[in-house]
Amino acid sequence: MAALLRPARWLLAAGASRRLPLYLRLFAGGPGRPSSVSRLTAADVRPAAGVLPSQARLYTIVAEKKDLSEEPPSLKRNSSQFDWALMRLDNSVRRTGRITKKLLQRVFESTCRSGSPGGNQALLLLRSCGSLLPELSLTERTEFAHKIWNKLQKLGTIYDVSHYNALLKVYLQNEHKFSPTDFLTKMEEAHIQPNRVTYQRLIAAYCNTGDMEGASKILGFMKTKDLPITEAVFSALVTGHARAGDMENAENILTVMKDAGIEPGPDTYLALLNAYAEKGNIDHVKQILENVEKSDHCLMDRDLLQIIVSFSKAGYPQYVSEILDKVTYERRYIPDAMNLILLLVTKKLEDTAFQILLALPISNEDNENDFGSFFLQHCVTMDTPAEKLIDYCKKLKEAKMHSSSLHFTLHCALLANKADLAKALMKVLKEEGFPIRFHYFWPLLIAHQKRKDVQGIIDILKIMKEMGVDPNQETYVNYVFPCFDDIKSVRAALQENECLPNSNTLYQAEVRSEALNGNLDSILSLLESNISPFPFNSLRGSLILGFRRSMNVDLWSKITELLYKDGRYCQEPPGPTEAVGYFLYNLIDSMSDSEVQAKEEHLRQYFHQLKKMNIKVSENIFRGIRNLLEGYHVPELIKDVKVLVDTEKIDSRKTPQLTSSDLESTLEKLKVGNQPIGDVLKQLILLLCSEENMEKALEVKAKYESDMVIGGYAALIHLCCRHDNAEDALNLKQEFDRLDPSAVLDTAKYVGLVKVLGKHGRLQDAINILKEMKEKDVLIKDATVLSFFHILNGEALRGETETVKQLHEAIVTLGLAKPTTNISFPLVTVHLEKDDLPAALEASIDLYQKYKILPRIHDVLCKLIERGETDLIQKAMDFVSQEQGEMTMLYDLFFAFLQTGNYKEARKIIETPGIRARPTRLQWFCDRCITSNQVETLEKLVELTEKLFECDRDQMYYSLLKLYKVNSDWQRADAAWNKMQEENIIPREKTLRLLAEILKSNNQEVPFDVPELWFEDDRHSLSSSSASTVEADMEKTVLEACRLRKFRDAFTMFLEAQKQNVVFNSETYSTLIRLLLSKDNFTEAMQVKDFAETHIKGFTLNDAANSLLIITQVRRDYLKVALETLKAALDLEHIPSKIAVTRLIQAFALKGDLESIEAIQKMVNGLSIGLSSMVFINNIALAQMKNNNIDVAIENIEHMLTSENRTIEPQYFGLSYLFRKVIEEQMEPAIEKLSIMSERLANHFALYKPVTDLFLQLVDSGRVDDAKALLQRCGAIAEQTSIFLVFFLRNSQKPKKAPVLKTLLELIPELREKEEVYSSSMKSYVLDKDVASAKVLYDHLTAKNVKLNELFLKRYASLLKHAGQPVPFTEPPESFEFYIKQLKEERESPS
Amino acid sequence: MSQLVTQQVLPVSRPELADAFLLDMAASAVRRGLTLAPPVAFIRRIPWTAASSELRTYFAQFGHIRKCTVPFDRETGFHKGIGWVQFSSQGELQNALQQENHIIDGVKLQVLAQRPKVLEGDQTSDED
């Protein structure tokens, strides 16, 4: 205890003394550096509105307006929706000078979805419909604007004068013809007062058409209303006169302006310039430009671009270059120029557009980004002729503006499905030496495929042929065949059109396609009718696919026979034995273990048929297949493959099954006869080695030393290493070297040597071996590095400091392994093992200085804290903060305090001002807690980081839930969920799903809809905002109460509303009903439902509420009503949850209501509820038994299990539910008959799953005597290890299962030594704190000399410690995580 | 290996058991993920001009390619710029990851180590 308190004292004392490290003092000093940093970044996040280019200027206005807008503050989602839309559009304009139609459409749709869009959103959308859409024709743009206008109005957006003005601006930009007076009338009807801007724009509208009369009329209005006449009006008048053909008066306007006291500005001059440009008067334009230059005014690039547009639109492209010369090409105008270029292309003035494009100041040197794609793409859209486009591409490339212009354009052409253009481009590409690839044609083929247009497909294939591209198999299978009704007709169609490929790709494709559909008969006939020979290899993948999709063993065999015997397919050197053997190997390799298990019988028949056909495989292949089958746990099949082995070949090669004594006597004889004995000697040595008979092997070696060969030595060395015989191993190695100094052992043998030498203190010898490995360039695999780690770690655990150090040094400096954190672990471990903390810290620091790694610093810090070694902590922290920064140090310290349970200190650290979240480090610690199951530590971490700046709270809770899930702790999970609401966290979908899973798997109801709940509520409060405020408030209150899960408040408010006859949105009722049901307020829920049904036409509950309703009805035993609910839901094509349907079925079964179950079966047939058919089988049987139809039920089950065409494989045929229910309900006759049935299935059909399941259920429900009797009658149960393993694994996760597992071990004691079983049992004992049973297990295992893994020991030790009992062995020092990982690694490493 | 057997005898009658079983599976997947990441490179920004065979050719310089996948969208006929390359050893994968620039058809690829996860999608792999 004192040790725990010491660090606290240190920390508290440090606060007052100068021992407080500098950084802590800094942080503590109020508004110091770190907090100012965070302020800075916060400012950065704000959109930098001031630097927007001109086109985007309007957005800043909108953005400012946003702040002033009178949106109710509660509509948070609305405003974030707006921010999002603004950001998207703004970014687009800033980068590309435009908005694409797609983007605008998307923003529009999402705005509509958000409910009732605010005025600012409407404004944003409307303003985007003008010149920012240069890729659209003018009429299309205006149509878009109208669409937006009408739709938003329908959604309840209130328009004000700003919206009308925005619409006017769009009209002007789009040169939309409209009647200004009608427009004014419309505004009047909407009771909107036009303002100055409205009139100005209307004047401009008249002027654009040259209607000076109309313009004067409006001007008159303005005068009567005493509105000021601004420069904009005069500029419009300039345009107006010019368009009316009166240039003189247009010029005069400037004088009028001056008389009125208004100095003409750039806008007026621009109007005049445009006027002359439209007339093609370059001289005047140049003159005015000169005048403007002389005056104080200055035209910007944007204005000059405007003049260019005017010239080109009016048909004077020849003057464009003169204006271009005057453009200064400031970079910030590039978006404007891009906009203009696109506009020109839209207007079919692509040559002018290209001229401007080439003139743009794009730095050609760095050439990192290609420029001009937007132009090429738009040209493709606008159907610019191919020759022109190709010319542009080439020029762009020459100008080094675009490195892959042709490819890019081809991409656009393919995207737009323009086959002719694509063809032209591909031709050029081919000429230029670029490859034309198959997949270039896929987009074109797909377009035809969708329309089932055979001729179109053929046309594309012809183009491919023309381009010299032979379609590959994939092209045929995926893109050509689907267009035809039948694969057979493809060949004919291709032949007719002379598109048949020269190679046999088409055959291969046909085979593959048939294989995909599992049509083995078609494959067989294809292979039989095919005339051109081709290699088996090219078919292998397809055949495997086909075999796996068909269960027709006869066809499997026939095809294999054909391939084996027919010269067309196995011509190549290795011959049919190799090819077919390799095929078999691959076939089995490609299957999963469960698949092989399921198809065991089929495979067996197949092998035997092959045998009859006299098909053979080589010994090597057999061995490969044998290994696979062992890995799949189907060793029973091995003997069936063995029959295929080509025995003749084996006989000639070696004599099998010779015993060592046979060999020894042969050896004697040969020796006496003075014949060469090398081969036999080697055989004998190898045999002895494989028998692990070291003594004898060494003896033989000594006897015949002069005849020993390299191979024999290698095996012997390895043998000695395995037997921990360093002495002989080294001697043998030296003899080996003498025999042939250049010979190389394989990696594992070298590693074995290093290990054994190191272990016996022959350090220098071990290092010499390492050196040799380097010199001889021995292959270092990942597993080798892992072995090095284990060697080092072993030495470290033995406390051999010097050995660890030198070996590590040698391994790293020789470059055999990189100095990673992992391999350097033992350097620190060795000191930690000895409890020498200063040395451990020193080692860690030393490693950092050498290799920049800091292994186990967390463990070192934890130990230091536990000991209260303040000086060393200070040293460690100084070092870390100097090398890796203060933040890293603070986190290290924080985690160490947490780990050691010093939460107060941890809190102090994490509350250091300026500290911010480091997601990777937090995640590291979370994961660590999860793997080592440290619930309290993780909970504390989550709690302490609540206020941590930028901490991803959802992620933290997600980790916490993950741990709860491991422990199936739904109560804590539920509590965490409440805390999340308290903290106002908006969970991600995955978090909600995880939470739902935990609750569901623990048979708890999920009180929310996965995953829409949170958004739903907001949306509805929005859509109701237009309703009268009282009603809206009521609805909001109900939803808010629902969100907080205060069901009583919500229901009271509902009653209140009902009294006043206020009707809510139907989703609100669904939400309320769901909440009431989840709180088991059935009557209230029905009351709400009735009201909703009578007041909202066609009111229906959503899926989640429906499922909950069914479950509640089942619980209340209203089964018929529940069935109706289900039927109604299904009629509406709703899909209720699996659990709801299952509950209902189970309830009917217990009532013996067979009819209803069958009715449900019919109803849900073919629906994707995810119900397993076992649910029906179990429950139908149960229902039948409840009706005393036990025999019928049993007959059905037996039939399903034993019939030829069974639908469920026996190993998935789980009857546990039925057994459990029958036992629970004490239906003795049924139990007896089921027992007889299970035994019959076991004895006659070798189906052991049912009897084993029954046995387990008997044990599980405490009927041990019955179980025992069953076991006695049917001994094979004890051999169903795999079923038991699963039972153990599963039950070890659940609390209170320790007695069951214990009983099981007593009944079948041989299980006890299975690693999975004793591990699971220990886990369960620990979970249930059953110290006595754990002790018995441990004693049993140690008595049996079972080598227990560290994880097991660690678990046991933790249990003992918890119970305050002494631990009779050294507790494994590492974390649970470490041992789990180690165990895994050991299993995977080959040794 | 215990997971292998688990699969074999999956009881499908009781949802809660099936869930517990999934949990088991997930746990073992997590355990596996800790140690055994297959040597797979996740490739992003693949130019549209390149498909799996181009990727395979290119990455062959770093080691033996066991599998190379670039899934194509069967709606559009284009791939989405991502793919997976499975090497036969971690060392080979490291070779590839260590090289700074990877360029196919003039386009710089983004090459990342695939997080421990099964190799995805096999619809257009060029496995042989």
Using only the alpha carbons of chain A, give its radius of gyration: 42
Residues of A in contact with B18 (CB under 8 A): 1172
The closest CB to that of B5, out of A404, A633, A1218, belongs to A633
Lowest mean pLDDT among A572-581, A1133-1142, A1276-1285: A572-581
**Per-residue pLDDT band at A203 (split at 50, 70, 90):** very high
The closest CB to that of A1214, out of B12, B79, B124, belongs to B12
Most A CBs within 10 Å: which of B3, B5, B24, B52, as the mutation test of the A interface? B5
In this prediction, residue A368 carries a pLDDT of: 59
Most B CBs within 10 Å: which of A397, A442, A1317, as the mutation test of the B interface? A442
The closest CB to that of B76, out of A446, A593, A1290, belongs to A446
Q: E-strand spans in A999-1151? A: none
CA A192/CA A168 separation, integer angstroms:
14
The closest CB to that of B34, out of A1001, A1285, A1384, belongs to A1384
Q: How close, in Å, is residue B83 to chain A by CA atoms?
A: 15
Q: Do B16 and A1003 touch (CB under 8 A)?
A: yes
Alpha helices in A798-902 (DSSP H): 801-813, 821-833, 837-851, 857-867, 870-884, 886-899
Q: How close, in Å, is residue B51 to chain A by CA atoms?
A: 7
Pairs across A and B, CB distance < 8 A: 151
Most B CBs within 10 Å: which of A438, A628, A1217, A1289, as the mutation test of the B interface? A1289
**Per-residue pLDDT band at A364 (split at 50, 70, 90):** low
Averaged over A1253-1259, what is the pLDDT? 91
Residues of B in contact with A1142 (CB under 8 A): 15
Q: Do A439 and B77 touch (CB under 8 A)?
A: yes
In this prediction, residue A139 carries a pLDDT of: 92
Q: How close, in Å, is residue B122 to chain A by CA atoms?
A: 12
**Any idea what the Cα angle at residue A54 is, between residues A48 and A59, rounded to 5°?**
55
Structure confidence by residue, pLDDT tens digits, A535-577 = 777 778 888 888 888 888 888 888 888 888 777 776 566 677 7
Residues of B in contact with A1175 (CB under 8 A): 12-13
Would you say residue A1358 has pLDDT above 80? Answer: yes
CA A598/CA A588 separation, integer angstroms:
12
Q: Do B89 and A781 touch (CB under 8 A)?
A: yes
CA A7/CA A14 separation, integer angstroms:
10
Residues of A in contact with B8 (CB under 8 A): 593-594, 597, 633, 1211, 1282
**Any idea what the Cα angle at residue A1345 is, between residues A1344 and A1347, rounded to 5°?**
125
Q: Is A22 exposed, middle or buried (0-12, 13-18, 19+ CB in 10 A)?
A: exposed
Element (H, E) at B107: strand B107-108
Residues of B in contact with A780 (CB under 8 A): 91
Residues of B in contact with A446 (CB under 8 A): 74-77
Nearest CA in chain A to B54: A437
In this prediction, residue A675 carries a pLDDT of: 76
Identify whether the C-beta of residue A513 lies closer than 8 Å to the C-beta of residue A476. yes
Which of A431-435, A1018-1022, B13-17, B87-91 has the highest average model confidence (pLDDT)? A431-435
Residues of A in contact with B36 (CB under 8 A): 1384, 1388
A544-575: b (≥16 Cβ within 10 Å) or e: bbbbbebeebebbbbbbbebbebebbbeeeee
CA A971/CA A1004 separation, integer angstroms:
10
CA distances from residue A402 to A391, A432, A540, A607, B110 in whole angstroms, order as listed: 13, 16, 44, 61, 21
Nearest CA in chain A to B105: A404
**Residue A852, CB-side half-sphere exposure with 13 Å CA sphere:** 2
Lowest mean pLDDT among A6-10, A331-335, A365-369: A6-10
Q: Do A1293 and B23 touch (CB under 8 A)?
A: yes
Cβ count near A877 (within 10 Å): 21
Alpha helices in A128-265 (DSSP H): 138-154, 161-173, 180-189, 196-208, 212-224, 231-243, 247-259
Identify whether the C-beta of residue A129 lies closer than 8 Å to the C-beta of residue A1039. no
| Rounded percentage of chain A residues whose pLDDT exceeds 90 | 18
Q: Do B72 and A1211 touch (CB under 8 A)?
A: no
Would you say residue A27 has pLDDT above 60? Answer: no
CA B98/CA B61 separation, integer angstroms:
13
Residues of B in contact with A1138 (CB under 8 A): 15
φ and ψ at residue A1023, rounded to 5 degrees: -65, -20
Structure confidence by residue, pLDDT tens digits, A1035-1069 = 777 888 887 777 888 888 888 888 777 778 777 88
In this prediction, residue A529 carries a pLDDT of: 80
Structure confidence by residue, pLDDT tens digits, A688-733 = 877 778 888 888 888 888 888 888 888 888 888 878 888 889 999 8
Structure confidence by residue, pLDDT tens digits, A51-79 = 223 333 333 333 333 333 333 333 445 55
Angle between helices A1376-1388 and A1350-1362 (to 10 degrees): 160
Q: What is the dihedral of CA A968, A973, A975, A980, to 10 degrees?
A: 170
In this prediction, residue A1382 carries a pLDDT of: 78
In this prediction, residue A21 carries a pLDDT of: 35
A125-130, long-range: CB < 8 A, 24+ apart:
A125/A85, A125/A152, A126/A163, A126/A166, A126/A167, A126/A170, A127/A58, A127/A62, A127/A166, A127/A169, A127/A170, A128/A89, A128/A99, A128/A104, A129/A104, A129/A170, A129/A174, A130/A169, A130/A170, A130/A172, A130/A173, A130/A174
Residues of A in contact with B21 (CB under 8 A): 1286, 1290
**Per-residue pLDDT band at A964 (split at 50, 70, 90):** very high
CA distances from residue A712 to A171, A697, A720, A721, A740 in whole angstroms, order as listed: 94, 10, 12, 14, 13
C-alpha of A689 from chain center: 49
Would you say residue A681 has pLDDT above 90? Answer: no
Which two tokens mark A660? 């060592």
Structure confidence by residue, pLDDT tens digits, A237-248 = 999 999 999 899
Structure confidence by residue, pLDDT tens digits, A824-836 = 889 998 998 888 9
Which of A44-48, A234-238, A683-687, A1207-1211 has the highest average model confidence (pLDDT)? A234-238
| Rounded percentage of chain A residues whose pLDDT exceeds 70 | 88
Average confidence (pLDDT) per 10 residues, chain B, 128 residues: 36 35 38 54 93 92 89 89 89 89 90 62 36
- Closest-CA residue to A576 (of A612, A610, A625): A610
Residues of B in contact with A1293 (CB under 8 A): 20, 23-24
Structure confidence by residue, pLDDT tens digits, A906-924 = 988 888 777 888 888 999 9
In this prediction, residue A1348 carries a pLDDT of: 84
In this prediction, residue A81 carries a pLDDT of: 66
CA A941/CA A909 separation, integer angstroms:
12
Q: How close, in Å, is residue A1060 to chain B by CA atoms?
A: 45
Q: Do B11 and A1253 touch (CB under 8 A)?
A: yes
**Per-residue pLDDT band at A1021 (split at 50, 70, 90):** very low
Nearest CA in chain B to A596: B8
Q: How close, in Å, is residue A1001 to chain B by CA atoms?
A: 5
Average pLDDT over chain A, rounded to whole?
81
Q: Do A443 and B78 touch (CB under 8 A)?
A: yes
CA B45/CA B80 separation, integer angstroms:
8
Identify whether the C-beta of residue A1053 lies closer than 8 Å to the C-beta of residue A1041. yes
Nearest CA in chain A to B79: A439
The closest CB to that of B21, out of A440, A1290, A1316, belongs to A1290
CA A508/CA A517 separation, integer angstroms:
14
Which of A52-66, A201-215, A556-570, A592-606 has the highest average model confidence (pLDDT)? A201-215
Q: Is A217 exposed, middle or buried (0-12, 13-18, 19+ CB in 10 A)?
A: middle
In this prediction, residue A167 carries a pLDDT of: 92
> Is the sign of the CA dihedral A47, A48, A49, A52 positive or negative?
negative
Which two tokens mark A842? 């020193």
Residues of A in contact with B94 (CB under 8 A): none
In this prediction the ipTM stands at 0.71
CA A121/CA A885 separation, integer angstroms:
46
Q: Do A781 and B91 touch (CB under 8 A)?
A: yes
Q: Say what the pTM is.
A: 0.48
- Check residues A981 and A1370 and name the one with the higher pLDDT: A1370
Would you say residue A1026 has pLDDT above 50? Answer: no
In DSSP notation, A252-264 reads HHHHHHHHTT---
Q: How close, in Å, is residue B88 to chain A by CA atoms?
A: 11
Residues 6+ positions from B77 with CB-CB distance below 8 Å: A414, A439, A442, A443, A444, A445, A446, A479
Cβ count near A1353 (within 10 Å): 18
The closest CB to that of B5, out of A444, A965, A1282, belongs to A1282
C-alpha of A574 from chain center: 43
Identify whether the C-beta of residue A846 lies closer than 8 Å to the C-beta of residue A828. no
Which amino acid is located at A185 in the chain? T
- Check residues A1135 and A139 and name the one with the higher pLDDT: A139
Most A CBs within 10 Å: which of B6, B8, B23, as the mutation test of the A interface? B8
Identify whether the C-beta of residue A1064 lies closer than 8 Å to the C-beta of residue A1057. yes
Structure confidence by residue, pLDDT tens digits, A928-960 = 898 888 999 999 999 889 878 778 888 899 999
**Any idea what the Cα angle at residue A1345 is, between residues A1339 and A1346, rounded to 5°?**
90
Would you say residue A1093 has pLDDT above 60? Answer: yes
Q: Any idea what DSSP says for residue A475?
A: I
- Check residues A1166 and B36 and name the one with the higher pLDDT: A1166
Would you say residue A1082 has pLDDT above 60? Answer: yes
CA B19/CA B27 separation, integer angstroms:
12
Residues 6+ positions from A1165 with CB-CB distance below 8 Å: none
Residues of B in contact with A1218 (CB under 8 A): 13
Q: How close, in Å, is residue B127 to chain A by CA atoms?
A: 8
Cβ count near A42 (within 10 Å): 9
Identify whether the C-beta of residue A962 lies closer than 8 Å to the C-beta of residue A993. no
Identify whether the C-beta of residue A180 lies closer than 8 Å to the C-beta of residue A206. yes
Q: Do A437 and B49 touch (CB under 8 A)?
A: yes
Alpha helices in A591-618 (DSSP H): 593-598, 600-612
Residues of B in contact with A438 (CB under 8 A): 51
- Check residues A133 and A361 and name the one with the higher pLDDT: A133
Angle between helices A138-154 and A119-127 (to 10 degrees): 170
Residues of A in contact with B31 (CB under 8 A): 1380-1381, 1384
Residues of B in contact with A464 (CB under 8 A): none
